[in-house]
Structure 1
Amino acid sequence: MTTSACSPLHKSLFCDRSIASIVSNIGCWLEDTEGAWLISSITISPLFPQLYNPVLFLPNISRTDIMSG
């Protein structure tokens, strides 16, 4: 008996979660793109668009520091 790579999608729970994950990833990509585009369109300084992603990452650093020690 051979199984295909798509055979887990026949289970409704797995299929629902896979679709939700794909939609969530697309939403995150859109949010990142829109944020960087908005920052670059409202300022003429090249510094602010470059600081956009590091500033978004700072809460993750502080959260791991608090949890680890």
Structure 2
Amino acid sequence: MSDDERDEQQPDLTTRWSAALAERLQRVARHSSLGLLSQADERRFQALCEELHTLSDLIDRFELTQQTTEKS
């Protein structure tokens, strides 16, 4: 099997890692909304949200998101 064939068979780790993190963030956000986080965890979650908001502004500023086009 060639290296190219092996590369094609390996899962895209970046995509899987991103999906796992997104799912975990949603779960933590849900727990936060239900008041299930400890005070320390809630503080860390709020700090993370603030950091992500800052990063979101930078991503928009530098147009780093992928634009998708609708197919007719």
Q: Which has the larger radius of gyration?
A: 1
Q: Judge same fold: TM > 0.5, yes or no.
A: no
TM-score (norm 1): 0.41
